[in-house]
Amino acid sequence: MTEVSICMKTTISVIKADIGGFPGHQDVHPELIKVAKEMLATAKKSGQLTDFFVGKCGDDLQLIMTHSKGVDCKEIHKLAWDTFVAGTEVAKRLKLYGAGQDLLSDAFSGNVKGMGPGVAELEFEERTSEPVIVFMMDKTDPGAFNLPVYRMFADPFCTPGLVIDPSMQGGFHFEVYDTVEGRKITFKTPEEMYSMLAFVGSRSRYVIKRVYPGPGNKVSEKEAVACVSTEKLSQIAGQYVGKDDPVAIVRCQSGLPAVGEVLEPFSFPHLVAGWMRGSHQGPMMPCAMEQATPTRLDGPPRVVALGFQLANGTLVGPADIFKDVSYDYTRQKANEIAEYMRRHGPFEPHRLPEEDLEYTNLPKLQEKFKGRFTKI
C-alpha cells in the first residue's frame, strides 16, 4: 500500500471592491466595514473560513480571508460577492457615493474575476514561520505594482538578499499579463531582466501577475510567492467606472525577500496612473490604513501595507506597516511631487496620454469636435 501524505495547504484570498464611497471617493463608511465583518464572522463560525480581516484603502473595502479550499474557489468567491451585495444595500440606504460601483454584473456566475472586484490569491504549504504582506492601493491601476514588485524580486540595489542569500541566487520568475491581447508570458530573472523591463515598463498594458522562486530556492519553484490583482474595470465595463485600485500579496523571508526588502521599493514615491478621474500621473504615497483617505484632487494615490504572520491559517496581525516614521520622508516627497505635478493642470505628463484616456469621456468630446477640423 502506498503511503499518502496529506499536507494541509493554506489559501489566502484578498478580494476587494468599491461598493460606495464616503464622501465621494474618499473613504469606506464604518457601516460597510461592520456588515462585512458580520458576514465573514458567520463564515468563520461555520468553518468556511479559517480567519479573516476586513480592511480598507481609500474607498475600497478589502476582504482578507484564509481558508483551505484553494484559489478560484467558487464558494469563497461567492462569499465575497454576497458580502459586497449586502454592503451595497447599506451603501444605497446611506446614499453613499457610487453604491455598488464595482459590482458590474447582476448575478454571481462562479468566480468574481471579470465581474468588477479585484482578486489576489496564493495557496501554499505554510513554512515554520510565514510572514505575509498584503498591499492595498487606491486611485491607480494594476501597473502601479510593476515597479515595486520588479524591485523586490529582481533589483539587487533594493534587495541585498539577491546578492547575499544563496537561496536567491537562482533569481525569480515573473508571470506577466498582456492586458490588451489577453495573453501571458513568463520571464526568468536575472537572465531575462532587460527583456522583461522592455515590457513591464509599459505599465498600462503589461502587468506583473505572479512571481515564482527560481532554481535552488528554499521555496518550491511551483509555488507562487507573490500575486497581484490585475482586473481592469474599464476593460470589463467598456467605459471608465473608477480605477482598478489593485491589491497584492507577498510572502517574505527565509529564501524570499525579507520584510524590509519587500517594503523598500515603496520608499520611492514612483509615478503611477490614476488620481483624479483616473486620468492623471501622480506619486504613490505609502501610508497607514487610517491615512489612506485620498483628499487632494481625490489623491494622491495611496498604498497601505498590512503585515501578518500566518499560524495554520490564522491571521496573526495586522501590523499597519507604513504607519512607521521611516516613511515620513517618502510622504513628504510624495506631497512635493504632487504639488509639482498639479502645477501642470490639464497638460501632459500630469494628464495621461490620449491612448490611456480611451475609456473616459474624452473620446465623446473628440467626437463632438470631429466635424470642425479641416485639412491643413
Residues involved in catalysis:
18, 240, 243
User: Binding mask 137-156 vs ligand F6R (x if CB under 6 A, - otherwise)?
Assistant: --x-----------------
Q: How far apart (Å, rounded) are the C-alpha atoms in residues 358 and 234?
A: 9
Shorter beta-carbon distance to Mg ion: residue 105 or 312: 105
Examine residue 173 and tell whether it contacts ligand F6R (CB under 6 A): no
User: Binding mask 115-144 vs Mg ion (x if CB under 5 A, - otherwise)?
Assistant: -----------------------x------
Binding partner selected for residue 298 from Mg ion, ligand F6R, none, CB under the kind-specific 5 to 8 Å limit:
ligand F6R
Q: Are 20 and 32 in contact (CB under 8 A)?
A: yes
Task: Give 175's DSSP letter.
Answer: E
Contact segment (CB under 5 A) with Mg ion among 31-39, 56-64, 219-227, 324-332 equals 56-64
Examine residue 280 and tell whether it contacts ligand F6R (CB under 6 A): no
Examine residue 276 and tell whether it contacts ligand F6R (CB under 6 A): yes
Q: Are 14 and 62 in contact (CB under 8 A)?
A: yes
Span 237-276, contacts to Mg ion by CB under 5 A: 245
CB atoms within 10 A of CB 66: 22
Examine residue 293 and tell whether it contacts Mg ion (CB under 5 A): no
Q: How far apart are the first and last CA of the chain?
A: 84
Residue type, 30: P
Please, what is the minimum distance in Å from the beta carbon of residue 72 to ligand F6R? 27
CB atoms within 10 A of CB 246: 27
Examine residue 298 and tell whether it contacts ligand F6R (CB under 6 A): yes
Residue type, 364: K
| Residue 131: half-sphere exposure toward Cβ, Cα within 13 Å | 17
Which of 170, 169, 200 shows the shortest CA–CA distance to 185?
A: 200
**Can you give the binding site for Mg ion, defined by CB under 5 A?**
18, 21, 25, 58-60, 98, 138, 245
Q: Which residues bind to ligand F6R, rule: CB under 6 A?
A: 24-25, 139, 242-243, 274, 276-278, 298
